[in-house]
Structure 1
Amino acid sequence: MAKQTKKKTTNIKMGKEYYGTMDREECFRKALEPYFTSKKELRLHA
């Protein structure tokens, strides 16, 4: 028997589940929001 693996959901799909139907740009903004500081700079965890 083959193992069933859970399919990963992308940030876009998760954004649609939480926020409903919205344009793609807004969905990207919501999905990537936690990775940016308030100055809109990319914050990397080293």
Structure 2
Amino acid sequence: MDGKLSERHGETSLFDIYLRLCTVTATIHLSLCRHPNKARR
């Protein structure tokens, strides 16, 4: 059972990294889009 748990944990960590990358990219994209708006005002 420990082997299966470790395998699942590995898959989860990879998926977590992918989700984090998407979240960070989206956050940076939003911040970049918002900054020009504030600068224009």
TM range (shorter): under 0.3
Could you say which structure has the greater relative contact order, defined with CA pairs below 8 angstroms and 6 or more residues apart?
Answer: 1
Rg larger for? 2
TM-score by length of structure 2 reads 0.27
